[in-house]
Homo-oligomer: A and B are copies of this chain.
Amino acid sequence: MTIIKAQEVIKNEFQKRGEDYPIKDGERTLPGKYYHSEEIYKEEIEKIFYKYWIFACRAEELAEAGDYKLVQVEDESIIILRETETEFKAHFNVCRHRGTQLCVEEKGKFENNSIQCPYHAWTYGLDGKLKAAPMMKEENGFTKDKCALHKVHIHNWEGFLFISLAVEPIPFEVQMEGLMGKWADYNLSELRIAHKIEYKLKCNWKLILQNYQECYHCPGVHPLLTQLTGVQSARHDFEDGAVIGGYMELTKESMTMNGEAASKPICDVDGDDIKKVYYYSVFPNMLLTPHPDFVLFHHITPDGPGKITNNCYWLFHPDAIKDKNGQAGIKSAVEFWDITNKEDWAVCEQMQFGTKSIRFTRGYYSGREDILHKLDKELIKVLGHKDPHAEFDSDS
């Protein structure tokens, strides 16, 4: 695997850098249409959300074989299910008979290892194979073996279930190179959801990713956060590809209301990691923030160019969740991030509204925002667009 090598290269490059990253001529923001155009949004759905590996849910949400959860990706409803103790499957939620949605409840359990359509009782196995189709004769083009549920690819990375709606996705390890071997000591798969908040935001999905990748805004936007992590300490780990991120150094123990640890360190976290909080954008729909004592992550679901649903999760070690005395720590971590999230959402929404102006052509990046330009470049590459800066003369 070439992944570890890539990480080393990036780390070395990073060592060579000084505090501020250089912004080269013409490294300006995207034009406003990338946040507002219905056409570009449709392209993003087709070329990114229907093709890339995207985060779906945590494995623990499907506790037993037969448990399922529906995940909506734009127009597509996807059934994510646990087939056995260790195996997961995902299917398009569409009967092969006449296209009826098989399940409507967001969560549930399939009885008798069967998925049955409520309309005409076509019945599938958990693996998606058509087991029974009453009254259908195998003639004139219909055969049962042609009519398995349409497959969705699924991959379990450390208890995070990722799916790809592509017929033939690129290997998970290639897209998610930046995650390979990362945070191995944290034993992320052992963690459990201690809390979840759903946020509805009026902004483009990319603005949330961008907001996560710079701390230029922290002094003005996050008075509490800047007490716990030094703005000057922000560093990049990865800055190319789908996984982009870095870390900041903790000045206290963790990111909580009072800066005290919310719990003891999760699993085997040790060494430098005890003093770090990571901020990773797992392109396109996840933000991942391991702390020494808990993990915060965001699951972003776009709903048009100017709207998203953001589900924010707090993962703790099961021992901390079970521990009666541990609840105050969890509460403090939730409260801290809920305040900080809302501070971010407000400015992201204001950026959404402002960039719609006829006068906004493109903005300027500071040296603190160079990684945003990398995200922009990744997007432009994936969409197959020309460099949008070519549209403008240098003075605009």
Residues of A with Cβ closer than 8 Å to B? 20, 23-29, 32, 50, 75-77, 92-102, 104, 118-121, 133-137, 140-142, 146-147, 150, 165, 216-217, 219-221, 346-347, 350-351, 353-360, 363-368, 394-395
Contacts and interface: CB of A to CB of B under 8 A. Distances in A.
A395 B146 contact: yes
Contacts of A133: 366
B93 A354 contact: yes
Contact of A360 (B25, B94, B102): B94
A147 B361 CA distance: 12
B76 A136 contact: no
Given A76-B358, A118-B221, A216 B135 contact: yes
A395 to B, nearest CB: 7
Contact of A353 (B101, B140, B354): B101
What's the number of copies of this chain in the assembled complex? Answer: 3
A167 to B, nearest CB: 9
Contacts of A395: 141, 146
B350 A101 contact: yes
Contacts of A24: 140
Nearest to A220: B121
4 closest A-B pairs by CB:
A99-B355, A101-B354, A98-B363, A150-B359
B357 A76 contact: yes
A233 to B, nearest CB: 15
